[in-house]
Amino acid sequence: MRACVDIGGTKVSVSLNAGGGDRALLATRIEPTARSGTPDVLARQVVRMVDEACVQLAVAPQSVQSAGVCAPGPFVMAQGAIALASPNLCGALVAASGGDVPNDWHTIPLEAPLRHRFKQLRIENDAVAALEAERRWGALQGLEHCAYVTWSTGVGGGLCVGGRVLRGKHGNAGHVGHIFVSDEAHARCGCGNVGDLEALVGGHAVARRLGVSMSEVMNAAQAGDAPACQEVEAMCRVMGRALYDLIALLDLQRIALGGSVFFHHQALLLPRLIAQVRGRLAPVTDGCELVAAGLGARVGDYGALALLD
């Protein structure tokens, strides 16, 4: 058995997998992401959830020694080990921007404490892991020039050009959520940037800016509420232009879209995003599709699995 761990800004999902080419995800457990206490609470939560999944399957916890972990970045290196510096999890990073994360963490140790539990461990940015899963089993199979973009609590991406996944110096390549798209003072991201993509369309940022949840905005737009429709059109205009930028920069064949915001409202969002790309600089955009992630809501779980094979 191996552990598949998907850490998000809102929830942690843990599953077990038997290996040997079997794709079944067993004893899946989901909990809200730990965001208070000491910074190592998240790693301790992961270990506990893995051990509880083992008990559920009558597997000795110490027999599970391999883990694939996908987590939200940015990543930083702390004494040679990966730590998280995610604005959606680290309270010290969002204090100046009015964030409501209930801790004073600057970083979250992840690799170091998990290596005490697992002999084999691979940690990747969640969007990079999802990209690998979509290339193996989902909507990006057989493509050498492609991307996965998540629209959720935050916004992130995994990029592949020439069949090679781009990672960067600390594994942070693809952080499309933190590219600048506006200079509006109200558009403040949890990371401290003013006017980046996540500040305008990320789930937490929208809730801070509008005082209502992203789901409430989307549901109101689907019901025909005019102000909500205007908000959704504005978000899709900004998000669509960011997707166009990726296509223009990387000459992509296809972008698979996932994340809770997109997944739950894709019928509303996908046509609007396609409209923002279609017809712009046709020699670049022709032949590039925007599609829903083939693995749907479980793309994160399968992303963790993809790290193990």
Per-residue pLDDT tens over the stretch 197-223? 999 999 988 988 899 999 999 999 999
Q: What is the pLDDT of residues 89-147, one digit of tens each?
A: 998 887 655 567 899 999 999 999 999 999 999 999 999 999 999 999 999 999 999 99
Taking a C-beta distance cutoff of 8 angstroms, is the pair 276, 110 a contact? no
Show the domain range for 117: 2-126
CATH (domain of 33):
3.30.420.40
Domain boundary (74, 95, 126) is at 126
Q: Are residues 97 and 159 in the same domain?
A: no
Q: Are residues 24 and 111 in the same domain?
A: yes
Mean of all residue pLDDT scores within the chain: 94
Q: Are residues 148 and 240 in the same domain?
A: yes
Residue 308 lies in a domain: no
Percent helix, strand and coil across the chain, each to the nearest 5: 40, 25, 35
Q: Are residues 61 and 82 in the same domain?
A: yes
Q: Are residues 8 and 60 in the same domain?
A: yes
Q: pTM to 2 decimals?
A: 0.93
Residues 92-119 as b/e (b if ≥16 CB within 10 A, e otherwise) read ebbeebebebebebebbbbbebbeebbe
Taking a C-beta distance cutoff of 8 angstroms, is the pair 37, 99 a contact? no
Pairing mode, strands 2-7 and 75-78: unpaired
Q: Which of 81, 76, 80 is nearest to 89 (CA)?
A: 76
Q: Are residues 181 and 258 in the same domain?
A: yes
Q: Are residues 61 and 156 in the same domain?
A: no
Q: Are residues 98 and 19 in the same domain?
A: yes
Q: Are residues 169 and 280 in the same domain?
A: yes
Q: What pLDDT shows up at residue 295?
A: 97
Q: How many domains does the chain have?
A: 2
Q: What pLDDT shows up at residue 98?
A: 58
Q: Is 283 exposed, middle or buried (0-12, 13-18, 19+ CB in 10 A)?
A: exposed
- Taking only the tens of pLDDT, the chain with its 309 residues reads 999 999 998 899 999 999 999 999 999 999 999 999 999 999 999 999 999 999 999 999 999 999 999 999 899 999 999 999 998 899 888 765 556 789 999 999 999 999 999 999 999 999 999 999 999 999 999 999 999 999 998 899 999 999 999 999 989 999 999 999 988 778 888 788 889 999 999 998 898 889 999 999 999 999 999 999 999 999 999 999 999 999 999 999 999 999 999 999 999 999 999 999 998 999 999 999 999 999 999 999 999 999 998
* Terminal C-alpha separation, the chain: 13
Q: What pLDDT shows up at residue 88?
A: 86
Residue 227 lies in a domain: yes
The CB density around residue 290, as the number of other CB atoms within 10 Å, is 23
Q: What pLDDT shows up at residue 209?
A: 86
Q: Are residues 289 and 166 in the same domain?
A: yes
Domain boundary (94, 126, 158) is at 126
Q: What pLDDT shows up at residue 260?
A: 93
Taking a C-beta distance cutoff of 8 angstroms, is the pair 120, 67 a contact? yes
Residue 131 lies in a domain: no
Q: Are residues 122 and 143 in the same domain?
A: no
